[in-house]
């Protein structure tokens, strides 16, 4: 199928490193881009935690620089901007490029035996659309009246001119639109590449589960990102051209009567699949890494794929659980409650398969493995606490409290982030031709994992105690004052978590240029990406490989006692 899919190697610097159409270069561009934004979003989180633990105390180091007018103190409007941009950045400019952009571009062609993505130019455009979105978002921080303060969800009418007339919100909507365009371009490319460019013998049931996760994510991207794109267009029209899609008549005299709830539907029709857009690649990576480092086949490959497909479908019909307090009709509320709860069944099958993959394995506790295993723990905590929020009776009280913050950070943020870390540690040797330090990697893991669990578990307690989210200062409310020590404890753990990421930065930079040169296959893994030499040549595969077996034939007795793995290009001995 893919034998003649060749384009010549670029010769100029610009075409080789900047406007490259090579999926490997684009993957690295996405990775650097995503990691830098994760850093910026992370610093914003640190400032938020500073304000919550020490309300009204100047931020050390950065405060004087960023908030000169208040002497380094975060003012309430800036606080709103910070958590809005923290959310937007982490989701759209951090995890999306680092997880889907980098991992998808790196893994899909190499793991399915293709020479490049099927649409290389579209692939390049996908990165530069994302870059433009990031640039617009970054610029919005410096416009008069400041960046958006309407929350990452951007609910009208707060996000329309009723809530504020600055350019920040408009630029935010444009940035989200551009990033969405990038995701759609990437999604079309990934789907078509997986369908069309699989090497001979690479049947659907021989695909590494990482590719399955990315494939399903791409389907969600292509189907649901256009919905938020349209929501953003309507928002920009409302803000700039004076339409009133979201502005009800009772507010603006002469308005034709829009509906702010329309936006909430559009936003969450996209917003809920977005959770799975971020977590599905992580699940795929976890499925694979657990098998690779437990030296056992991925238990129940077909049921894992089936569960991910079912979750992909269900993710489209549960979005209403974000709107239980909005004023949904009783019938809609109950239907969404039931549908949301059903997700626990395929999720449980995945957990069952993951734990069974580890069971009686031969566990190599490398850094990627530790991150993969921690996803089981972290996603377990996050997923199970979702039941409180899917149940309307408990959600009424817990909605918009820190319980929700803890829940979604553990599920979509921490799980996706730890999946990304696992993937980076795992593919780094192939990507950059050098090994990352295992010792630093393990320090990074433990100093991230423990504070992370502490941070978000305390949030469950404060949420249970009724602490509302998006509050600039909790000590302004009487019954929250005795709970201030919870905020302090959360912040201390959060600072530790933030500091631990410096280990990763150091390890990444040092290993990138001065690390130990990596062998071709440091992990003894049989997927196609490890069959080729390091660094990967421009065309990836000199001859398109022929796939003879599945990706997880570990410890197969037919391999004999000397080895416990086999390349996918090799035939299993009889």
Partner 1 sequence: MSMLKTLLPSFALLRSRWLGCPLALMLTSTWALAQDKRWGPGEPASDYGDRFYDLFWLITILVSVAFALVVVLLVIPVLRDRARPGHRASFDHGKSLHDKRLTAIISIVTFIVLDAWVLVIAMKDLREAYWAIPDAKDPQTYRVEVLAQQWAWNFRATGVDGEFGTADDILTINELVVPLNRPVSFNMTSKDVIHALFLPEMRLKRDVNPGAINEAWFKPIKEGDFTILCAELCGFAHYQMYGKLVVLEQGQFNEWEAEASRLASTAFDADDTEAHWAWDWQE
Site for partner 1 in 536-555 (CB under 8 A): 552, 554-555
* Number of shown-chain residues binding partner 1 (CB under 8 A): 103
Binding-site string for partner 1 from residue 285 to residue 314, where x marks contact by CB under 8 A and - marks none: ---------xxxxxxxxxx-----------
Question: What is the distance between the alpha carbons of residues 356 and 350, in angstroms, rounded to a whole number?
Answer: 10
In the complex with partner 1, which residue's Cβ is closer, 192 or 335?
Answer: 335
Question: What is the distance between the alpha carbons of residues 93 and 34, in angstroms, rounded to a whole number?
Answer: 6
Contact between residue 119 and residue 191 where contact means Cβ atoms under 8 Å apart: no
CB of 554 to partner 1, least distance (A): 6
Q: Which two tokens stand for residue 281?
A: 């690649």
In the beta sheet, which residues pair with residue 468? 401
Q: DSSP secondary-structure letter at 97?
A: I
In the complex with partner 1, which residue's Cβ is closer, 97 or 550?
Answer: 550
Contact between residue 159 and residue 150 where contact means Cβ atoms under 8 Å apart: yes
In the complex with partner 1, which residue's Cβ is closer, 35 or 358?
Answer: 358
Side-chain half-sphere of 457: how many Cα atoms within 13 Å? Answer: 12
Matching residue, tokens 């299993």: 572
**Interacting positions 337-396 with partner 1 (CB under 8 A):** 337-338, 341-342, 344-345, 348-349, 351-353, 355-356, 358-365, 373, 376-377, 380-381, 384-385, 387-388, 391-394, 396
Torsion angle defined by CA atoms of residues 316, 403, 407 and 149, in that order, rounded to the nearest 10 degrees: 70
- Contacting range for partner 1; rule: CB under 8 A; set: 132-140, 174-182, 253-261, 509-517: 253-261
**Interacting positions 318-337 with partner 1 (CB under 8 A):** 325-327, 330, 333-334, 337
Contact between residue 141 and residue 147 where contact means Cβ atoms under 8 Å apart: yes
**Interacting positions 30-89 with partner 1 (CB under 8 A):** 75-77, 79-80
CB of 1 to partner 1, least distance (A): 27
Question: What is the distance between the alpha carbons of residues 382 and 207, in angstroms, rounded to a whole number?
Answer: 28
Helix (H, G, I), strand (E, B) or coil at 284: helix
In the complex with partner 1, which residue's Cβ is closer, 68 or 561?
Answer: 561
Question: What is the distance between the alpha carbons of residues 227 and 93, in angstroms, rounded to a whole number?
Answer: 19
Question: Residue 325, preceding bond cis, omega within 30 degrees?
Answer: no
Residue 316 makes contact with partner 1 by CB under 8 A = no
In the complex with partner 1, which residue's Cβ is closer, 112 or 358?
Answer: 358
**Interacting positions 154-173 with partner 1 (CB under 8 A):** 155-158, 162-164
Residue 149 makes contact with partner 1 by CB under 8 A = yes
Matching residue, tokens 């267009």: 233
Q: Which two tokens stand for residue 460?
A: 């469950």
In the complex with partner 1, which residue's Cβ is closer, 487 or 511?
Answer: 487
Contact between residue 103 and residue 215 where contact means Cβ atoms under 8 Å apart: no
Residue 145 makes contact with partner 1 by CB under 8 A = no
CB of 131 to partner 1, least distance (A): 29
In the complex with partner 1, which residue's Cβ is closer, 116 or 149?
Answer: 149
CB of 55 to partner 1, least distance (A): 10
CB of 429 to partner 1, least distance (A): 19
Question: What is the distance between the alpha carbons of residues 181 and 230, in angstroms, rounded to a whole number?
Answer: 11
Question: What is the distance between the alpha carbons of residues 182 and 307, in angstroms, rounded to a whole number?
Answer: 27
In the complex with partner 1, which residue's Cβ is closer, 18 or 57?
Answer: 57
Helix (H, G, I), strand (E, B) or coil at 13: helix
Name which position in 468, 484, 522, 570 contacts partner 1 (CB under 8 A): 468
Q: Which residues of 213-249 are buried (b: 16+ CB within 10 A; e: fewer)?
A: bbbbbbbbbbbbbebbbebbebbbebbeeebbbbbbe
In the complex with partner 1, which residue's Cβ is closer, 98 or 266?
Answer: 266
**Interacting positions 186-215 with partner 1 (CB under 8 A):** none
CB of 552 to partner 1, least distance (A): 8
Name which position in 141, 237, 454, 483 contacts partner 1 (CB under 8 A): 483
Contact between residue 528 and residue 110 where contact means Cβ atoms under 8 Å apart: yes
Question: What is the distance between the alpha carbons of residues 53 and 61, in angstroms, rounded to a whole number?
Answer: 16
Question: What is the distance between the alpha carbons of residues 464 and 369, in angstroms, rounded to a whole number?
Answer: 33
Q: φ and ψ at 426, to 5 degrees?
A: -75, -45
Name which position in 10, 317, 489, 564 contacts partner 1 (CB under 8 A): 564
**Interacting positions 392-451 with partner 1 (CB under 8 A):** 392-394, 396-397, 399-401
- Contacting range for partner 1; rule: CB under 8 A; set: 2-10, 235-243, 245-253, 428-436: 245-253
Question: What is the distance between the alpha carbons of residues 117 and 108, in angstroms, rounded to a whole number?
Answer: 8
Question: What is the distance between the alpha carbons of residues 401 and 262, in angstroms, rounded to a whole number?
Answer: 24
Helix 76-88 with 167-196: angle, nearest 10 deg: 10
In the complex with partner 1, which residue's Cβ is closer, 1 or 342?
Answer: 342
CB of 295 to partner 1, least distance (A): 4
- Contacting range for partner 1; rule: CB under 8 A; set: 167-175, 206-214, 258-266, 443-451: 258-266
In the complex with partner 1, which residue's Cβ is closer, 193 or 462?
Answer: 462
Question: What is the distance between the alpha carbons of residues 302 and 205, in angstroms, rounded to a whole number?
Answer: 7
CB of 522 to partner 1, least distance (A): 15
| Residue 339, Cβ density class (10 Å: 0-12 exposed, 13-18 middle, ≥19 buried) | middle
CB of 21 to partner 1, least distance (A): 39
Binding-site string for partner 1 from residue 78 to residue 97, where x marks contact by CB under 8 A and - marks none: -xx-----------------
Name which position in 443, 464, 495, 539 contacts partner 1 (CB under 8 A): 464
- Contacting range for partner 1; rule: CB under 8 A; set: 172-180, 233-241, 247-255, 427-435: 247-255
DSSP of 28-70: HHHHHHHHHHHHHHHHHHHHHHHHHHSTTPPPTTTHHHH-GGG
């Amino acid at each position: 199928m893919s034998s003649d899919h060749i384009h010549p190697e670029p010769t100029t610097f610009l075409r080789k490193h900047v406007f490259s159409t090579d999926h490997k270069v684009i993957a690295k561009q996405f990775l650097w881009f995503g990691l830098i934004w994760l850093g910026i979003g992370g610093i914003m989180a640190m400032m938020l935690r500073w304000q919550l633990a020490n309300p009204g105390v100047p931020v050390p180091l950065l405060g004087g620089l960023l908030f000169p007018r208040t002497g380094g103190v975060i003012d309430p409007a800036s606080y709103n901007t910070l958590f809005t941009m923290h959310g937007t950045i982490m989701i759209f400019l951090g995890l999306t490029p680092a997880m889907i952009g980098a991992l998808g571009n790196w893994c899909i062609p190499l793991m399915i035996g293709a020479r490049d993505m099927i649409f290389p130019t579209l692939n390049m455009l996908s990165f530069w659309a994302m870059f433009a979105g990031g640039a617009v978002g970054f610029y919005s921080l410096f416009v008069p009246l400041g960046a958006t303060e309407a929350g990452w969800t951007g609910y009208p009418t707060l996000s329309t001119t009723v809530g504020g007339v600055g350019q920040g919100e408009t630029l935010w909507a444009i940035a989200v639109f551009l990033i969405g365009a990038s995701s759609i371009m990437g999604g079309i490319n990934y789907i078509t590449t997986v369908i069309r460019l699989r090497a001979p013998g690479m049947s659907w049931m021989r695909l590494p589960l990482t590719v399955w996760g990315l494939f399903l994510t791409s389907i969600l991207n292509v189907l649901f990102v256009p919905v938020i794109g349209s929501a953003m267009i309507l928002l920009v029209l409302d803000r700039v051209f004076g339409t009133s899609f979201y502005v009800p008549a009772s507010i603006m005299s002469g308005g034709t009567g829009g509906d702010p709830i329309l936006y909430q539907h559009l936003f969450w029709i996209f917003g809920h699949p977005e959770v799975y857009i971020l977590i599905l690649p992580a699940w795929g990576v976890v499925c694979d890494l657990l098998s690779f480092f437990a030296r056992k086949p991925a238990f129940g490959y077909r049921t894992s794929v089936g569960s991910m497909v079912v979750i992909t479908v269900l993710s489209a019909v549960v979005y209403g659980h974000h709107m239980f307090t909005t004023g949904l009709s009783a019938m809609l509320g109950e239907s969404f409650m039931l549908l949301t709860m059903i997700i626990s069944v395929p999720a449980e099958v995945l957990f069952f398969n993951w734990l069974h993959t580890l069971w009686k394995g031969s566990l190599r506790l490398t850094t990627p493995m530790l991150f993969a295993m921690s996803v089981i723990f972290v996603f377990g905590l996050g997923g199970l606490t979702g039941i409180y929020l899917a149940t309307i009776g408990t959600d009424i009280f817990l909605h918009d409290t820190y319980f929700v913050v803890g829940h979604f950070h553990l599920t979509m943020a921490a799980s996706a982030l730890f999946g990304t870390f696992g993937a980076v540690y795992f593919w780094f040797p192939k990507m950059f031709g050098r090994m990352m330090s295992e010792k630093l990697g393990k320090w990074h893991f433990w100093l991230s994992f423990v504070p992370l669990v502490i941070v978000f578990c305390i949030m469950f307690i404060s949420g249970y105690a009724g602490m509302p989210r998006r509050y600039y200062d909790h000590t302004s409310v009487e019954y929250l004052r005795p709970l201030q020590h919870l905020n302090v404890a959360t912040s201390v753990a959060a600072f530790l978590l933030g500091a631990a990421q410096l280990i990763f930065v150091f390890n990444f930079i040092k290993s990138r240029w001065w690390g130990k040169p990596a062998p071709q296959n440091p992990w003894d893994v049989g997927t196609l990406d490890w069959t080729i030499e390091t660094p990967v040549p421009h065309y990836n595969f000199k001859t398109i490989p022929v796939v003879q077996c599945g990706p997880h034939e570990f410890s197969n007795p037919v391999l004999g006692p000397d080895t416990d793995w086999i390349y996918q290009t090799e035939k299993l001995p009889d």
